[in-house]
């Protein structure tokens, strides 16, 4: 049986940081375990601002594990510019993309979106 491909979209921000941590954790744990054929991660909206500015140790550790497990995160370039966090995100190894197009492309390739 073929495995599903997961597209983790993190929309939550400072008002609900536990969702951000959960999204990051499920991304790296399922990638590490092979539960999905592949895992992609996109930050969008308040999620971009939170990952850029957080000092929450749990979120930072989960993000470190995302990178360590070979997930290359992306974020919306327009939102990053609006929040003024473009350089911070790129410094954190997050590729800035046109999120709508990226999400549509992932979905066209069979990725199932999971939002946090």
Domain that holds residue 15: 5-115
Tens digits of residue pLDDT in 21-50? 999 999 999 999 999 999 999 999 999 999
Tens digits of residue pLDDT in 53-100? 999 999 999 999 999 999 999 999 999 999 999 999 999 999 999 999
Q: What is the 3-state secondary structure (H, E, C) of the chain?
A: CCCCEEEEEECCCCCCHHHHHHHHHHHHHHHHHCCCCEEEEEECCHHHHHHHHCCCHHHHHHHHHHHHCCCCCEEEHHHHHHHCCHHHHHHCCCEEECHHHHHHHHHHCCEEEEEC
* 4-17: average pLDDT: 97
Domain count, the chain: 1
For position 2, what pLDDT does the model report?
77
What CATH number is given to the structural domain containing 95?
3.40.1260.10
Q: pTM of the predicted model, to two decimals?
A: 0.94
């Amino acid at each position: 049986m073929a495995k599903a491909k997961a597209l983790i979209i993190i929309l939550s921000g400072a008002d609900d940081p536990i969702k951000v941590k959960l999204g990051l954790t499920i991304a790296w744990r399922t990638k590490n375990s092979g539960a999905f054929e592949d895992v992609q991660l996109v930050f969008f909206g308040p999620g971009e601002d939170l990952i850029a500015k957080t000092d929450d140790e749990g979120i930072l550790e989960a993000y470190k594990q995302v990178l360590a497990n070979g997930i290359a995160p992306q974020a919306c370039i327009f939102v990053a510019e609006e929040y003024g966090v473009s350089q911070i995100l790129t410094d954190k190894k997050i590729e800035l993309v046109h999120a709508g197009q990226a999400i549509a492309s992932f979905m066209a390739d069979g990725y199932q979106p999971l939002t946090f």
